[in-house]
Structure 1
């Protein structure tokens, strides 16, 4: 007797939920705890989710005995699929109107800063013998939008034994550096006596994470905060094309050179989703209240997924990354800061 297709689909769904709900639920609980700490103590939510996740690393390990390792499949699902879902929803925050008003010169500084920082990361990784994957991962995260970019870029890179370690190191590093920049960079805008517009471009064009850009910008003035957020979203808009270019180049590179892991598709589904939502928002087809809801959902999806990523990686493996890796990501941060600072200074004068 042939099985009923509907019954088969239901059985698969039930099996899928049974495998994954525990790990997903643990990730959600950690994300909620991280958000609580962020709201009450001022710590970056991404950083808190990452550190709390690392503390619960044992849940992602294979455990002996009956019921051992029951959270592992759900943690894997959350770190992979929920991450891609969150990145796709980021597209709803992007629209063509973001470009209007800043002017071609300031936009050129922001875009060139992104491109050159990624190239700087590749060059630095080559000089330090760290591998091209690490250069792309750190350079892209510093250049675009911190932890979100790191997770998106990692999703399209071929996997190897260092992939999880490098991702967790990059997320941890850019979050810490972004927090330091949130404190120090507004002082530089006062020191150089920048106008509100130029200050906003500098802060939005250099600080890694969106939340820290908002914090730094509005700590100066409302006008600076609005411009900084606008510029930061332009950098976020570059996430899709950068990931697409990386995906295409990786596939071409993998055709001629042996690489570990499965090659990613030419156009990952989450990038397609990002572009679709950005296009719909640019055309005004997504109501403002829906955009706000999608932005909030995207943020929570990324927070939950970074908690899962934290649980997948042990602290010992992070410490194994070495001083050269720290030097590289700090150098990338300094590079984009100097480049954008020089660019806005020239424009201001």
Structure 2
């Protein structure tokens, strides 16, 4: 059932230009009764956990360190600095919006790294409680909507600010949340801007494994797991898979057809996983997250936008 929802979302996305992740989530929520009882429950649970981890692991084939180095050390440091600064900023300001570190890390990590994919990866290592699913759903919906708005508005900003192709690519790739929207925004300006934006975005994607690994170690060391929950694993298996595939691809040990196949599989696995997550979700509970959570996402998005924009004007 989750696969059927994912296929439907992809079909609608191709015909109506709406993000497939958002459609999969909304369609999944529309049939959430399938995740509550009956024969479909185990399969939906499998999709929302196992397929999610496999999809994140396969993301590693998109990483090629030699291509990224072509952007220059300054740009790479700016992008990595933007990721770390945004996560730190989110953890600091969340208390002013009435949220604790779990939601802060989930939202800031998804904004800083790669949107819905990062949200699902980070959620997998956070200690679980009764509100874990609704926080994840809200974050995925929020960053996907904001990313879509950015895809429309940021190219206009690039033109108004009179950024050149390189500056525009770094800005778009360093600020828009999801990979698909980065590609869409970049190539609406020029081929050079699109190529640069995609490479910059992949630098952010490459930070997913180190961030999740360090966070997992810190959570295991300092966070108290709720009753009945064990500590997160020291090294999540999907992080290992991500790092192994990224290394193999960077060393050119993977044939092009394997890279293409695993990249496509990653997209479908993540789409199916988010459909399954939606099928386990009660929208009424998600909406209780409240306006402060929306404000937090917007503030984090604004922060990374300003951080990268200032950096771009200084170094390029």
**Paired position in structure 2 for 1:21:** none
The reply on whether 1:34 has 2:34 as its aligned counterpart is no
**Paired position in structure 2 for 1:60:** 35
Note the alpha carbon deviations across 1:281-337, whole angstroms, 9 max, x for none.
111100112101110000000000000000111110111001110000110000000
5 Å matches for 1:70-81? 70-81=39-50
For the aligned residue pairs, the C-alpha RMSD in angstroms reads 0.9
What TM-score, normalized by structure 2, do the two folds share? 0.98
1:292 pairs with one of 260, 277, 301: 260
**Paired position in structure 2 for 1:208:** 177
The reply on whether 1:266 has 2:241 as its aligned counterpart is no
Matches of 1:236 and 1:58, distance apart in 2: 34
5 Å matches for 1:10-29? 26-29=1-4
Secondary structure of the equivalent of 1:172? helix
**Paired position in structure 2 for 1:10:** none
The count of residues paired between Structure 1 and Structure 2 equals 315
5 Å matches for 1:53-202? 53-62=28-37, 69-202=38-171
**Paired position in structure 2 for 1:240:** 209
Which structure would you say has the larger RCO, counting Cα contacts within 8 Å and 6 or more residues apart? 2
Residue 186 of structure 1 contacts residue 220 of structure 1 at CA under 8 Å; is this kept in 2?
Answer: yes
C-alpha displacement at 1:246, in angstroms? 0.7
Secondary structure of the equivalent of 1:263? coil
1:323 pairs with one of 283, 288, 291: 291
Note the alpha carbon deviations across 1:17-70, whole angstroms, 9 max, x for none.
xxxxxxxxx0000000000000000000000000000001111113xxxxxx21
Residue 89 of structure 1 contacts residue 298 of structure 1 at CA under 8 Å; is this kept in 2?
Answer: yes
Residue 127 of structure 2 contacts residue 225 of structure 2 at CA under 8 Å; is this kept in 1?
Answer: no
Residue 47 of structure 1 contacts residue 175 of structure 1 at CA under 8 Å; is this kept in 2?
Answer: yes
C-alpha displacement at 1:169, in angstroms? 0.2
Larger radius of gyration: 1
5 Å matches for 1:252-263? 252-254=221-223, 257=224, 259-260=226-227, 261-263=229-231
Secondary structure of the equivalent of 1:70? coil
Matches of 1:252 and 1:127, distance apart in 2: 26
**Paired position in structure 2 for 1:13:** none
**Paired position in structure 1 for 2:18:** 43
Secondary structure of the equivalent of 2:102? helix
2:249 pairs with one of 281, 292, 306: 281
Matches of 2:288 and 2:225, distance apart in 1: 25
Instruction: Give the gaps of 5 or more residues in structure 2.
Output: none
